[in-house]
Amino acid sequence: MRVAKIVWCLLAFASIMGMLGICCDSLAAEAENDTSRPNFLFILTDDLGWGDPSCYGNRHFRTPNLDRLAREGILFTQYYQAGSVCSPSRAALMTGRYPAELRIHGHLASPEQNAARGMPNYLDPQLPTLPRLLKAAGYTTIHVGKWHLGRPPGAGGGLEVYGFDVARWIDCQEGGRNLWSVQERPVAAKELVDATIAALRNVSGKPFYCQLWLNDPHAPLAPSSEQMAPFRRQVPEGFTSPFMVYAATVTEMDRQIGRLLAALDELGLARNTVVIFSSDNGPEDIDIANASWSAYGTAGPLRGRKRSLYEGGIRVPFIVRWPAKVPGGLVNNTTVVCGVDFLPTLCELAGVSLPTEVKATCRGENMARAFCGDKNVQRSGTLFWEWRFRIFNHPWNRSPILAVREGPYKLLFNPDGSRVELYDIPRDPGEYNNMASEHPDIVQELMKKGIDWQKSLPPGRFDKEAGRADYPWPQGEQ
């Protein structure tokens, strides 16, 4: 009897272990399948400078939730947008194309203003876009917040024409409310995060691509008195300072991003969601009328601000977190990544093959290995920028019209051959030491590439102040 009982126990144990083995195999297969189709959450801020998050060196105020994101993922220090203002940067992110190729040279405005600058009124809906490619591959595609790429007549109320299944608060307006208004600005980030969380709760089983494009900290800023209170310092009651306004806005935005990250945890989505955080361009300048009380943003050690092609205008924060695949706490100081890389990289991570016509026109490179933690990924091609208009900055920040980045070198120059500046960016990120006279061969090579690239662009209007850094020096009798 005792032997029979032992045999029965052994058989039962073997049966249980077999069942556990089947379950483990099933779970392993499910996990493997899970990580082969990641979700994407892309948080894009508006006019946040490279040096604004505390994980990028800011010591004037803290951004604990962005710091958490960096601790749990990869912080890139050499990430560039393809434009120095909003609409060009966003067009590149959606299409993998240089915005100047699409005639999107500045921010899209009224039809009259667009026509005066030789620009369209909206992003061409015939262009292949990242959300359209992901949607065709079975992803649910979601947009919340600022869009600033226009919509063609007859497109309806949403963004279906660009490949989105769901679109909320398009350009921060919905149901008669406008989150750009002074009255609504204290709750703008909260409303957009609430809408994002609601959209994620409705995703049922399918992988998703969700972009939350915030309007903070783009001017005009109007945080509440409670939000500004921690940053009052010695400012008398009844007065505010640009620091108070800006710090209150960014820290509230960071708090709302923390709510969104907590919602991912609550919904069980955090592990296999690639969270990407960035800004559309560098910080606004205080010379701009609607920013005169709030443009405290900083590019840290970088020269230039919004509109400039110096580093501070186009180089912005960039953090990637993917717990299922990427170890946390990494800092990538070596890989040069650009907004045009967004489309091919996310398609690679999603297992989506690029159609032939997209491969032929996409200017970006596949940076999937870098997004997964490989610090040795090096860019193989050249990056180009053009800014055709006036730059509202201190003369020190007013860049030439063209910029070219290849390897460690960045060349800035005007098409007429004036203002030729060459910098070794890894050694001189602040662009203090012009090395053009020391490396004429590099200057000649990069200048030719830049001119050839500009000649391939559609023709358009240039401001007479473009590429100039004049200053009205006092004049006396000669």
Quick: pLDDT tens for 246-287.
Answer: 999 999 999 999 999 999 999 999 999 999 999 999 999 999
CB 467 within 8 A of CB 414: yes
Please determine, for residue 302, whether its predicted confidence score (pLDDT) is greater than 70. yes
User: Residue 161 CB: number of other CB atoms within 10 A?
Assistant: 17
Please determine, for residue 220, whether its predicted confidence score (pLDDT) is greater than 80. yes
pTM comes to 0.92
Mean pLDDT for 317-333 is: 97
Question: Any idea what DSSP says for residue 377?
Answer: -
User: Residue 13 CB: number of other CB atoms within 10 A?
Assistant: 10
Provide the residue type at 213 as one letter.
Answer: W
Provide the residue type at 114 as one letter.
Answer: N
Strand (E) positions, 187-251?
Answer: 208-213
Confidence of residue 29 (pLDDT cuts 50, 70, 90): very low
Distance CA 173, CA 142 (A): 16
Mean pLDDT for 295-311 is: 98
Quick: pLDDT tens for 73-97.
Answer: 999 999 999 999 999 999 999 999 9
Confidence of residue 201 (pLDDT cuts 50, 70, 90): very high
Q: Which region among 163-172, 196-205, 404-413 has the lowest average model confidence (pLDDT)?
A: 196-205
Q: Mean pLDDT for the chain?
A: 93
Return the exposure string of 62-98: e unless at least 16 CB atoms fall within 10 Å of the residue's CB, then b: bbebbbbbbebbbbbbbbbbbbbbbbbbbbbbbbbbb
Distance CA 102, CA 92 (A): 9
Mean pLDDT for 356-369 is: 97
In this prediction, residue 354 carries a pLDDT of: 97
Confidence of residue 35 (pLDDT cuts 50, 70, 90): low
In this prediction, residue 154 carries a pLDDT of: 84
Please determine, for residue 24, whether its predicted confidence score (pLDDT) is greater than 70. no
SS3 243: helix
In this prediction, residue 303 carries a pLDDT of: 98
In this prediction, residue 392 carries a pLDDT of: 87
